[in-house]
Amino acid sequence: MDKQDEKLQIRSLIQTAVVSWKNTLSISQDASQITEILQLAGLLLPSEEQTSLSENDEKILSNIFPVCKEEGNLRLLQEEFVRSYYLKFAEFLIAQLSLDWFGKFGRGKAHEKCFNDLFLMAPPKDAVMVLSSAIFKSSPSFKRNKCLSLLEEFLKGGRLTELLWTQCLDHVTEKSGSELKSKNARVQAMWDQLINLLATLPDRMANTLKTENWDIFLPKEYFVIVAQSILKTLHNVHQAIKESKDCSLVFISQLIGKICVCGHSGILLDYLMPHILKTTSGDFIWSRIWVRLFVGAPERSLEIILECILRRVPWYGYMSKLLGDAVLNSQKANYLLTSKLLLLRHTENELVLQNIIGYLAAAPSRSSLLPLVLSNLLEAWSDSSALKHTSYEQHLYISKAILICCAHLSEKHLQEHRDALMHKLMKGMQAHLETPVPRLRTLGMVVAESLTKKLTPEGPALTFDYQKDDLSEHLETLLTVPEDPGLEELISNIKEAHISSSNAEENILSDQNDEKLNPEESQEGAEELDSDDDLEPYDMSGDTKVTKVKEPVYIRDCMEGLIAKDNPDLVEASLKVAEKLIRKKPDNLPEIAVEFTKVLLHLEDNYHTDGFAELRQSSLRALTVHCPVPVTSYLTEQFYDRNYNIRQRIDMLQVLSVAAQELAKPEPSRGKLSPISVSDQLLPVNQLPGIENWRDIVQKRIDSKTRRFASATKKGPEPAANRFAAVAGHFFFPLMKTYDSPMNTMNLLGGDFFLLGRLVYTLGMVLHSAQNTMICRQMAKSLLEFIWVIRYHTEPYVRQAIMFAIAMVILSVPTHTLTTDLQTDVIECQMWLEDIVEKDSEPECKKQAAQTILLLQDAIQKEFKGGEG
């Protein structure tokens, strides 16, 4: 008989057998018969070990399949069954699965094992597909539970490793030329299906099972199992390569890629990373394996894999072992590592930067990329438009990258590119020094300082006067290349932690508790002995700071003291009492208020007085509050005068806004409307005091016998006249007078945008202080008109100020006015805000715009509801 015929014969034999089995299984009531069939089917599954079947089994088989008496035919038989019939048969079995049917035979352990083996010993890829698709289709039932427990056993029993391993070999065995293409396509389709299933299993499980999900299918556990299987498989691969056998890593690579794309990269790589570091530490083959795995992953998952690795590798020295020369070989990797991850993405994790740049610098073949990268980074860093339009975090990230680049840059490259880099740096420095945002300015100074130090170590050192803080110190540390943290410790730590994490933690915790308890007790004891509590202190309020000069008592003396020359103590003392004296409201205050304001406004901090700015501001505020009209008209006039610096103008605005706020608050003690006293009330004749009224007597008697359970009613806030209402206009309108006429010393619409922003903020605050006054509506209208002109200002600071002003309008003006008088303005504002939310480059602006819109909508909605109600 020739081979082909034999095959055909076998096929038909199996077909008839399987059909008859199916029949019997669905009809039969006999447990032993079912078991027998299951056992038979089990025998047809190829076993891993090449043990020959026992005689008994062989006999049973040859009864049904006489062909398999011949050597080698059994193998053919099994292959045929697995290839063409197993899938259907397994699906049939699961379809049959129900409590009744299973109860017929599955009582015994042995019987159950027969059934389970049909899945657990079967080719893993088929089994897992059958089981999972059955679960996804099922509803809560015995069948589902059985499938779930089978799948769990499948995962726990290490069948996944088997699955991966077969895929590694599978691709290699297919060789013949003509078949290759169609086969490849078929395999790829099957792989896609399989990878999809494996990567999304937890998600789909959660979707199917909802709240009844099993622990093992949670991503936390499932992906650890996957990672373990991958690791075991790779160990096999490693062994095979050592024996110079061929293996394919494409499947695993794709699987990792898919898992990462699905967002579970963290769990997977957290598990794998220590092992990766450990295996690559001495072995070149391992290093090759990982390189192939990571770099060979599909392009769309390359980015996420790279990012995960970069985040986790503790020291840049390991990077070459994991990536090889990927940056030179792969276009995509090159783009990711030299451009995208550095320039377009940003993260707080500094390891990413250290790893990328360290990786680039580590080998001579790659290090030529480094000057290029640095040049690109500097380009981005020094772009003044980018500075304005990118977020601070991104900018910080780029700055860090520059510093780290500098640390890694070799002397040779440095020499070559010094001039170009210097040129870019200078350009960038200028852009940074011009920015209105202080933290960007500081960042620019720190980077420029560090960079010049590195670029021209022998040249004059560039030093800026900025406040050192944690950030600047940290940035400076980036200039040194990090050292190898020592792999041994790292790995052993991780391994031990894996093994005895729970135990150790408990121990540590209990230890800490013990330690904590003891010293406290002993300390308490000591403290009781060691106290001065038996001595009662005297009044020490008189213990004040000593000043060498007498404090001025009269307001004119105080004013003169402030302009005294060469007497720092007097100036200080005068400044300190100024507010107190003004608040006493001496009679001559109105006549000297303007002059006093002038003195204070021009006062300079020549003696570095503590809290100079606050003292001066509070004095000015007191002046403005007590003599609002003359002082505000003076201040608003001076705001548009020449011969002031920005600082002074900001002071004026600040004073106006704080004074407005103070005036708007009810005065605490004075200005109280005294309640009308009883004696002033007109009383009817028969109720004159002295003569007891019968009503009172009755009331008293009732009161004495009544128990009241209600608590005393609270007194409402005391009414007070709004002091701001009368003067609000003086604070407001003059400030908007001549904003658009540029002067030599101030150009609000040009370079002095910071002042413009402050002006808008101040107007907003004054308006808010003026709420509930008659003039408020008018002010709001003017303010909206005012900001309309400048709303497309290029500086985010001004835009934010405008949004603040709009918010103040919404909050201050009665809501019905918003929907009537101001309707057109409000609608225009809303459109502008929406525009900002969509298009603005500054995330802060967007956020604020969104909030302002919410505020507006809320106000309008309330108004409509109120109207309906």
Partner 1 sequence: MNKPAPTLDPEFVLRGSKDAISCLHFPSLKDSSLLVSGCASGEVRIWNLKSRRTVDVLDGHGGKGILTALTRTDGQVLSHGRDGKLNQWTLHEGRREITSTINIPCQSFCKCDLLEKDGMLASQGLEKSEVRVYGISAKKVTQKLIPASQHPDPLGMPMCLKFLSSQLLGVGYEDGSLVIWDLKAAKIASALKIYKEPVMCFDFSQDLQTGICGSVEDVLTSWVLKEVDFMVEKKTDIKLTNPGVSEVSIREDGKIVATAGWDSRLRIFGLKKLKPLAVLKYHTASAHCVQFSHPLPEFNNRWLLAAGSKDKHISVWSIYNG
- Chain positions contacting partner 1, by CB under 8 A: 530-532, 534-540, 542-546
Q: How far is the CB of 574 from partner 1 (least distance, A)?
A: 20
On whether the CB atoms of residues 357 and 404 are closer than 8 A, the answer is yes
Q: How far is the CB of 544 from partner 1 (least distance, A)?
A: 7
Helices (H), ranges, 530-588: 555-562, 568-583
In angstroms, the CA 88 to CA 131 distance is 12
Smallest CA-to-CA distance from 266 within 311, 325, 333 is with: 311
| Residue 656 burial (10 A CB sphere; 0-12, 13-18, 19+) | buried
Q: Which is nearer to partner 1, 71 or 539 (CB)?
A: 539
Q: How far is the CB of 545 from partner 1 (least distance, A)?
A: 6
Q: Which is nearer to partner 1, 537 or 750 (CB)?
A: 537
Structure tokens given for 121: 């010993």
Residues 481-518 as b/e (b if ≥16 CB within 10 A, e otherwise) read: ebeeeebeebbeebeeeeeeeeeeeeeeeeeeeeeeee
Q: Which is nearer to partner 1, 536 or 610 (CB)?
A: 536
Q: Which is nearer to partner 1, 1 or 540 (CB)?
A: 540
On whether the CB atoms of residues 639 and 649 are closer than 8 A, the answer is yes
Q: Which is nearer to partner 1, 519 or 719 (CB)?
A: 519
Q: Which is nearer to partner 1, 535 or 678 (CB)?
A: 535
Q: How far is the CB of 515 from partner 1 (least distance, A)?
A: 22
Q: Which is nearer to partner 1, 284 or 538 (CB)?
A: 538
Q: How far is the CB of 547 from partner 1 (least distance, A)?
A: 10
Q: Which is nearer to partner 1, 364 or 537 (CB)?
A: 537
On whether the CB atoms of residues 384 and 434 are closer than 8 A, the answer is yes
- Tokens 């003006």 locate to 813
Q: How far is the CB of 537 from partner 1 (least distance, A)?
A: 5
- Tokens 């297919």 locate to 174
Q: Which is nearer to partner 1, 282 or 542 (CB)?
A: 542
Q: How far is the CB of 540 from partner 1 (least distance, A)?
A: 5
Smallest CA-to-CA distance from 119 within 144, 99, 96, 149 is with: 149
Q: How far is the CB of 578 from partner 1 (least distance, A)?
A: 22
Q: Which is nearer to partner 1, 407 or 573 (CB)?
A: 573
**What's 348's DSSP letter?**
S
On whether the CB atoms of residues 582 and 555 are closer than 8 A, the answer is yes
Q: How far is the CB of 535 from partner 1 (least distance, A)?
A: 5
Q: Which is nearer to partner 1, 244 or 544 (CB)?
A: 544
Helices (H), ranges, 770-795: 776-790
Smallest CA-to-CA distance from 593 within 638, 563, 556, 566 is with: 556
On whether the CB atoms of residues 731 and 685 are closer than 8 A, the answer is no
Q: Which is nearer to partner 1, 488 or 530 (CB)?
A: 530
Q: How far is the CB of 522 from partner 1 (least distance, A)?
A: 17
Q: How far is the CB of 551 from partner 1 (least distance, A)?
A: 16
On whether the CB atoms of residues 292 and 241 are closer than 8 A, the answer is no
Q: How far is CA 57 from CA 6, 63, 68, 805, in A?
A: 22, 10, 12, 90
Q: How far is the CB of 541 from partner 1 (least distance, A)?
A: 9
Spell out the SS3 assignment of 182-249: HHHHHHHHHHHHHHHHHHHHHHHHHHHHHHHCCHHHCHHHHHHHHHHHHHHHHHHHHHHHHCCCCCCC
| Residue 861 burial (10 A CB sphere; 0-12, 13-18, 19+) | exposed
- Tokens 């060789």 locate to 175
Q: What distance separates the 2 farthest-apart alpha carbons in the chain?
A: 141
